[in-house]
Amino acid sequence: MSVSAAMQEYLAETYRLAYYQGDNPFVSTSALAEVMNVSAPAVTRMVQRLKEAGYLEHEPYRGISLTTDGEREALMNIRRHRLVERFLVDVMKFGWHEVHDSADELGASVSDTVVNRMEVMADYPRRCPHGEPIPSAEGIMPRVVDHALNESTPDSDLVISRVNTHDGEKLAYLDTLGLKPGTKFHLIARAPFNGPLQLRVNSATQVIGHELAGALRVCTESEFALT
């Protein structure tokens, strides 16, 4: 069975959900419905199609998990999407807040040959513009080690690892603060009771709210390198 763009998207989202759960490979259909923004019956129908095609396994009361073939399809979809995003930002000079939807459209149509050329022209990036790791052509996904900024210890030197939002306005605002993946900064203080955080970024002091800080994942400089 050929894999449609919709099937690839479901597989990719299943992989993303499982990836950040750590050791638990099972994903609930309700979580998948939420991230795909579709109804429960729609997810049930697609899960059945993917199961029949050999890409998913479904265990009652545990959820769904990817087969080896399903994981391969998911990783190739994620690779295409993130490399297209990188190409649009680094080569075509789009803003990082502009490329998510365009990468979805382009990623569904470009060949692996074109994607590999995009990788070369973008100088072999390890992360997408939002900091997510890019799988290799062999289907190997780097493991990210990071944590939420609003859970970080004050008076520490950190690096922005990932930004967990596709909201264009939020991304544009973070850009004005200089808070993008790879940015080094010092966490000066974190107010109690979910109060704002005070950062020093490029010698300038910035203040960011607790909720928005939760969308920023941070790590040490060595962890950002994805060695």
Residue-range domain boundaries for the chain: 5-66, 76-143, 147-224
Domain 147-224 - what CATH class? mainly beta
Mean pLDDT, rounded, for 128-146: 93
201: left (phi over 0), alpha (psi -120 to 50) or beta: beta
Cα separation values, 183 from 10, 11, 90, Å: 32, 31, 16
Q: How confident is the model at residue 90 (pLDDT cuts 50, 70, 90)?
A: very high
pLDDT of residue 227: 63
> Domain 76-143 belongs to what topology?
Arc Repressor Mutant, subunit A (1.10.10)
How far is residue 122 CA from its own chain's centroid?
18
pLDDT of residue 116: 93
Look at residue 63 and tell me whether its pLDDT is greater than 60: yes
Q: How confident is the model at residue 143 (pLDDT cuts 50, 70, 90)?
A: confident
Mean pLDDT, rounded, for 103-107: 88
Q: Do domains 5-66 and 76-143 have the same CATH topology?
A: yes
Look at residue 2 and tell me whether its pLDDT is greater than 90: no
Residues composing the chain: 227
Cβ–Cβ contacts within 10 Å for residue 7, how many?
Answer: 20
pTM beyond 0.85: the answer is yes
Architecture label for domain 5-66: Orthogonal Bundle (1.10)
